[in-house]
Amino acid sequence: MSDVRILTISGSLRRDSHNTRLLREAERLDPGGVMFDHFSGLGKLPLFNEDEEHPAPPAVVDLRDRVRRADAVLIATPEYNSGIPGGLKNALDWLSRGEMPLAHKPTAIIGASPGAFGTVRAQTSLRRVLHKMNVNVLRHPEFLLGHAHTHFDANGCLPADSPTVQLLTTVLDGLVDLVEEHRAKLAAA
Ligand code: FNR
């Protein structure tokens, strides 16, 4: 397997976000041959407006470029009112237009919540949105972290030998496999 570039996107703007921390943990795992790019500009994207699509705003151009350059995307979503945060949905609406750089892109979803259900409703909603956008979403394993605040240590890290880190590793491995399958399909086409 040659190098894989993964773009990470957190659906939370919060400084001490559990979801952003999950992405930082994923970036630290270093499965070998993987490079990460973290998109932290969700809060700078203007609200989607069909009247302002052409020319695309600079923040949108930046997001689209980074998605296009990535081999895969890893999204960590909080759950807000049983759905995905508005900022994340706004970014996806921008990505669903123009040259649609997220279409067919290998993508994995993870999520963390202090509640018991670990973002299951948000992830279900996110899968539906990504399905509509023709995104190549990793189906297994599902990564749902409930009671998230109890899993991180005082430095905001997960213990290296925890089941959560093991599951995160499995998700990353699955995402890399999905990239490999995607490349094989493109080569055979
Ligand atoms: C929440 N939270 C929440 N949690 C949950 O499990 N289900 C829910 O429906 C909601 N709804 C909700 C709405 C709003 C407006 C906020 C601000 C919060 C709690 C949420 O999971 C918690 O704030 C997380 O810590 C947010 O994720 P980050 O910022 O830690 O990544």
Please tell me the residue having the least CA distance from ligand 1 atom 24.
Answer: 113
Question: What are the tens digits of pLDDT across the range 105-151?
Answer: 999 999 999 999 999 999 999 999 999 999 999 999 999 999 999 99
Q: How far is the CA of 110 from the centre of ligand 1 (A)?
A: 14
86 touches ligand 1 (CB under 6 Å): no
31-35, 65-69, 127-131: least confident range: 31-35
Which neighbouring-strand residues pair with 36? 6
CA distance 67 to 5: 10
Mean pLDDT within 149-157: 95
CA 117 to centroid of ligand 1, rounded, Å: 11
Q: Is the pLDDT of residue 30 over 80?
A: no
Confidence band of 2 (pLDDT split at 50, 70, 90): low
Q: Indicate the top mutation candidate among 113, 150, 151 to test ligand 1's pocket, ranked by most ligand atoms within 8 A of CB.
A: 113
Looking at ligand 1, which residue's alpha carbon is closest to its atom 13? 80
**Looking at residue 79, what DSSP letter applies?**
-
Q: Spell out the domains of the chain, with CATH numbers in brackets.
A: 4-188 (3.40.50.360)
Mean pLDDT of 87-96: 98
- Return the percentage of the chain with pLDDT > 70, whole number: 99
Q: What are phi and psi of 53, to 5 degrees?
A: -75, -30
* pLDDT level of residue 1 (50, 70, 90 thresholds): low
Cβ burial 162-177 (10 Å sphere, 16+ → b, else e): eebbebbeebbebbbe
CA angle (31 as vertex; 25, 32 as ends), nearest 5: 135
Q: Is there an atom of ligand 1 within 6 Å of 123 CB?
A: no
CA–CA dist 156, 107 (Å, integer): 25
Tell me whether strands 34-39 and 4-10 are parallel, antiparallel or unpaired: parallel
Among 87, 97, 114, 175, which residue's Cα sits nearest to residue 139? 175
